[in-house]
Amino acid sequence: MTNDLKKINKKRNSRRTINNNEQKLVERLIKISRVSKVTKGGKKLSFRAVVVVGDENGKVGVGVAKAADVVNAFKKAKTDGRKNLIELPLTKALSIPHNVSGRFGACKIILRPSIEGSGVIAGGAVRIVLEVAGVKNVIAKQLGSNNLLNNARASINALQNLTTKSQIVKKRNLTLK
C-alpha cells in the first residue's frame, strides 16, 4: 500500500484505534434479575443487571442497569460501571495496605490484608469486586444483609477508604502548616 492509502485508512478507522489503545477492562456479572412492573395494561417484564468492571490493577467500579432484554441490560450496566471507576492502592504482595471497613445500606464489609499466597478469602459479590480490582491476598467478612448489590457497593466504599503512608504524611504536613 502506498502512504496515501495508509493515511486514509488511518483516518477512517480513527475511532477503532482510539478504543484499542484504551486499557482493557474486565467485566464480571454479579447478578441478573427479572423485574416485573405492574401497569394498567398488565405486567411489563424487564431485566436488571449488576456488573463489576475493572482492570485487575487497582481500578474497579460497579454498574447497575435495567433493560427489556438481558444483553442490553448487561451493556448498560457495563457503561455505568465504567463511569463509576475508583482507584485503590495495592501493596507489593497485591494486598490492601491496612484494615478497612465499608458500609452501604444494611451491609457492612470488613477487609483485612493477608500474607502472600493466601488468596482472596471472601464470598459472593465481595469476592468478585476484589478479584476484578486486582487484589490477590485479602480476608473479607460480610456483616448484615446478603443483598448482592449492596455488598458490592459496600466493598467499593471500603476500597475508597484505603490510604497509603505517603497520602497520610502529605495530609498531616498540610494540617501542620
Q: Which fold has domain 89-163?
A: Ribosomal Protein S5; domain 2 (3.30.230)
Q: What local confidence, expressed as pLDDT, does residue 20 receive?
A: 47
**77-87 burial by CB neighbour count: b if 16+ within 10 A, else e?**
bbebbbeebbe
**What is each CA distance from 84 to 22, 52, 127, in whole angstroms?**
17, 10, 19
* Domain extents in the chain: 89-163
Distances (CA, A) of 74 to 34, 62, 86, 144: 13, 12, 20, 27
pLDDT at 172: 84
Reading the chain (177 residues) residue by residue, the pLDDT tens digits are 566 655 555 555 555 544 544 578 999 999 999 999 999 999 999 999 999 999 999 999 999 999 999 999 999 999 999 999 999 999 988 899 999 999 999 999 999 999 999 999 999 999 999 999 999 999 999 999 999 999 999 999 999 999 888 888 888 887 776
